[in-house]
Structure 1
Amino acid sequence: MLDETIYRYITEKATDIIYSVTLDRKIKFHNKAIEQIFETSVEEIEKNHYDHLMLPEDKKLAKRLHEERLNGKNSVFEHGFITPNGKLVYLECSANPIFDEDGQIVGSLGIARDITDRKKADKELKESKKQLEEIIESKDKFLSIIAHDLRDPFNTLIGYSDLILTQFESLSKEKIEKYVQAINSSSNKGFNLLQNLLDWSKAESGRITYTPEKVDISKTFDFIISSLEYSSAAKSISIKKNLDNSFIIVADENMLKTVLRNLISNAIKFSFKNSEILIDVIEEKLQYIINIIDSGIGISEENLSKIFSPDINFSQKGTKEERGTGLGLIICKEFVTKWGGRIWVESDYGKGSTFSFSIPKPKQ
């Protein structure tokens, strides 16, 4: 009798759930811990099958393990539950079959430990590991761009400026003009690449903030077109905008300029000589749609899914063998997503592409 009292005392004071389950999967016995963990009454627990609070994805496994115990097998497993108060609870369980005097299985006996905090910690650890891996990957990509892509413009700058310095007296006016044009072109490429690297670095570190204001998008287009005038003139490409001289929207002007600079620069890069690029704005009820339309080389169906992905280092050469890093479109997606819009592309390989992005109107 004393032993029974001690066992009962230990059972009731245990912080782990001690329970038994009948052949038809109902709770027959349990200690007080089950009420504390599930935050519900004894009556509520006992009137249902033990899996009525279980996560749907765990119920199939629970039924299979119960059937295995009816065949004499022990089991160790984890299940998730939603308490009547909506709290998510994870239990680590160890269950064994119960035999009567005749050796017949009459149910099962189990011990269940609350591992919710451990599961939460494991999840946070996995998320931290993933974030760390992304940071390392970003750092490696950043260093790769600095080591390779940023080196090319500087090599051109150094090479042609050295030629001008050492051979200035003997160089013809035409040669000097050619070298200066190459220096100017490389300077612009280097500056745009540095700008993208800075924007990307800010986006990756979460230091980009969206600051909407009234913007005359027509003037913004003019500014970007003017800044890319040398690149477009070098290929005799005309850039036209299909909108009024004054068109006011609400947007973050700096982020908008970055997106437009990258998309129009790409359109120039992949357009043929003597072609045309059209900038089109469509006003809808809830948003504006900006389209950058070119008649260049286009994008193959195979590559369409790669161009906005930060996980794939995708880049292709332009119509004059211009190189790129693939960074510009990733930044575009980051910024457009930041202001609540979306960006997409439609392309006919060999005939041209239309890059589009949306800017939501302010809520009234």
Structure 2
Amino acid sequence: MDKDTSGKANNSADKTVIWKRLFLATALVLVGVLVASLPLPHPLTSRPVTTNLTGVLLTLGSLLAGLVVWWSLLAQKFSPQVRTFVEVLIYLTAINIVVKFTGGLYSYFTFLYFLPILYSASNFTARYSWAVFIFTALIMSFHLLDNNGSSFSGSVSALILNLFGVWLVNGLGRSLAEQLELIHQRQVEIQLEQLNKLDKIKDEFVFIIAHELRSPITAIRGYLELITTDSALKISESLKSLLQKSFNTSTKLANLVGLLLEIARIETGKIRFYYQKIDLRDSLDFVTAALRSEAAQKDIQITTQVEKENIVSVDKERLEEILNIIIGNAIEYTREHGKILISSQSTEKEIILSISDTGVGIAPDKKDKIFEKISSDDDQNGEATVKEYRISLYVARQLLALMKGDITCESVVGRGTTFNLSLPRYWSWGTP
């Protein structure tokens, strides 16, 4: 979330809270004026209040018994919020009975209603907190049936006064809960902004490091290639073999740095695509020609069953990079004398390119993880390890997704793997 969007959201939330407070304050003033004009008995403290101690004790015993039954038989069947909601209703019922045995609407214990009301208003959703308020209003209204000798109008006035206090506490509790929620949301937004900044710095750092490593690695590869191919230099076969291994290792390192640089471009948004209509067979011929020497070292046969004039709308360089990744992996994880088959199917909107090998395959529990950039699951058995596949396939999937394509995998351990690439025939915004 950018600063402008975050600031607008915060201002909107602040205005909402302010309007709610103004509404609450206005309602309190108006209702307060009405309550002040009620025909209450004067003074209230002069009302005779009798206490039934036996009733109070029975109420407390019943409350404990009800809670024991609730927790032992029923509570675990409901969600935590519903359990708490039911418990609040039990407490309110017990308080109502205590109030009844200690003077009804004129009891000194009516303040006890405020405690569960404040708790529910501060911790429950609006629906549950207002349900608690309505329940409280209903059970308090039953005291009108037992007015302790006072006039009916006086009892109604006392009820309204008590309900006004309950409503006041509920409203203030809801306001407090919303303010705390707003503060929590702002803290989360600040933390997300900080994490996004750190993530961006990390991506920039990887991009810079990968870019700086590319030049010296290219120079090292050039020197090694010059030494191993220059016939004028007289070097022993053992040294030549060692230099060739060093060259192959530097090539792998260069490819890894290239993948890291590509990931950094993707995640920092610095990657650019130049779409054009190309013949898929031409790109396949270019990539397979570059990889045939590598395949020949393991006597792997590459067969291409893709006709000419299979036109796709993609970035040519990125497509060849993806094909190099998929076919290169197929060569690497296919045993000697194996086979790689490249075929295609056309639909109205896309071409499905399938690249199948007779390699070691991928275990079912690892198949869904091979497109992830990071995973804690590493295979130690030597079977087409997810760890070695992962970075290149992550890049391939991301590049395809950015070009409105997709890639899926089908594999059987010990029999081989097939990658299916979906390539758009047209630009997503254009016509054929």
- Normalised to the residue count of structure 1, the TM-score between the two structures is 0.64
1:283 alignment partner AA = S
Which residue number in structure 2 is paired with residue 131 of structure 1?
A: 196
Which residue number in structure 2 is paired with residue 37 of structure 1?
A: none
2:365 alignment partner AA = E
Which residue number in structure 2 is paired with residue 196 of structure 1?
A: 259
2:327 equivalent among 264, 269, 272: 264
CA deviations over 1:131-155 (Å, ceiling 9, x no partner):
3565577689889999xxxx99999
Which residue number in structure 2 is paired with residue 77 of structure 1?
A: 123
Structure 1 Cα separation of the partners of residues 91 and 384 of structure 2 = 71
Q: Would the alpha carbon gap of residues 131 and 14 (structure 1) be closer, same or farther in structure 2, given more than 3 Å must change?
A: closer
Structure 1 Cα separation of the partners of residues 19 and 393 of structure 2 = 61
Which residue number in structure 2 is paired with residue 121 of structure 1?
A: 186
Structure 2 Cα separation of the partners of residues 160 and 179 of structure 1 = 12
1:349 matches 2:413: yes
How far is the alpha carbon of 1:246 from its aligned partner?
3.9
Structure 2 Cα separation of the partners of residues 162 and 103 of structure 1 = 99
Which residue number in structure 1 is paired with residue 72 of structure 2?
A: none
**Larger radius of gyration, structure 1 or 2?**
2
CA contact (8 A) 1:237 1:276 kept: yes
How far is the alpha carbon of 1:349 from its aligned partner?
0.5
Structure 1 Cα separation of the partners of residues 25 and 424 of structure 2 = 56
CA contact (8 A) 1:286 1:360 kept: yes
1:18 equivalent among 24, 37, 40: 24
Which residue number in structure 2 is paired with residue 209 of structure 1?
A: 272
Structure 2 Cα separation of the partners of residues 261 and 163 of structure 1 = 25
Query: Normalized per residue, which structure has more helix?
Result: 2
Aligned positions of 1:217-256 closer than 5 A: 217-256=280-319
Aligned positions of 1:40-59 closer than 5 A: none
Q: Would the alpha carbon gap of residues 163 and 341 (structure 1) be closer, same or farther in structure 2, given more than 3 Å must change?
A: closer
1:233 alignment partner AA = A
How far is the alpha carbon of 1:245 from its aligned partner?
3.4
1:108 matches 2:167: yes
1:336 matches 2:400: yes
Question: What SS is found at the alignment partner of 1:282?
Answer: strand
CA contact (8 A) 1:157 1:186 kept: no
Structure 2 Cα separation of the partners of residues 296 and 141 of structure 1 = 33
How far is the alpha carbon of 1:124 from its aligned partner?
2.8
1:284 matches 2:334: no
Structure 2 Cα separation of the partners of residues 348 and 13 of structure 1 = 63
Question: What SS is found at the alignment partner of 1:108?
Answer: helix
- Normalised to the residue count of structure 2, the TM-score between the two structures is 0.55
Aligned positions of 1:22-33 closer than 5 A: none
Which residue number in structure 2 is paired with residue 293 of structure 1?
A: 356
Aligned residues: CA RMSD: 5.0
Structure 2 Cα separation of the partners of residues 258 and 271 of structure 1 = 20
Q: Would the alpha carbon gap of residues 63 and 124 (structure 1) be closer, same or farther in structure 2, given more than 3 Å must change?
A: same
How far is the alpha carbon of 1:252 from its aligned partner?
1.5
Structure 1 residue ranges without an equivalent (≥5): 1-11, 21-28, 33-56, 82-94
Q: Would the alpha carbon gap of residues 326 and 249 (structure 1) be closer, same or farther in structure 2, given more than 3 Å must change?
A: same
Q: Size of the alignment, in residue pairs?
A: 302
Which residue number in structure 1 is paired with residue 390 of structure 2?
A: 326
How far is the alpha carbon of 1:353 from its aligned partner?
0.4
CA deviations over 1:154-176 (Å, ceiling 9, x no partner):
999999999999xx64x44x546
How far is the alpha carbon of 1:226 from its aligned partner?
2.2
Aligned positions of 1:303-314 closer than 5 A: 303-312=366-375
CA contact (8 A) 1:297 1:351 kept: yes
CA contact (8 A) 1:17 1:31 kept: no
Query: Normalized per residue, which structure has more strand?
Result: 1
1:340 alignment partner AA = K
CA deviations over 1:85-125 (Å, ceiling 9, x no partner):
xxxxxxxxxx9978784799745331244658656534433
Structure 2 Cα separation of the partners of residues 262 and 229 of structure 1 = 14
CA contact (8 A) 1:160 1:179 kept: no
Aligned positions of 1:97-176 closer than 5 A: 101=158, 106=163, 108-109=167-168, 110-111=171-172, 112-113=174-175, 115=179, 118=183, 121-131=186-196, 134=199, 169=234, 171-172=235-236, 174-175=237-238
Q: Would the alpha carbon gap of residues 70 and 152 (structure 1) be closer, same or farther in structure 2, given more than 3 Å must change?
A: farther
Q: Would the alpha carbon gap of residues 162 and 239 (structure 1) be closer, same or farther in structure 2, given more than 3 Å must change?
A: closer
Q: Percent identity?
A: 20
Structure 2 Cα separation of the partners of residues 191 and 159 of structure 1 = 13
CA deviations over 1:182-224 (Å, ceiling 9, x no partner):
3443343233222212211101211123332111211111121
Structure 2 Cα separation of the partners of residues 80 and 224 of structure 1 = 63
Q: Would the alpha carbon gap of residues 128 and 258 (structure 1) be closer, same or farther in structure 2, given more than 3 Å must change?
A: farther
CA contact (8 A) 1:153 1:186 kept: no
How far is the alpha carbon of 1:331 from its aligned partner?
0.7
How far is the alpha carbon of 1:70 from its aligned partner?
4.3
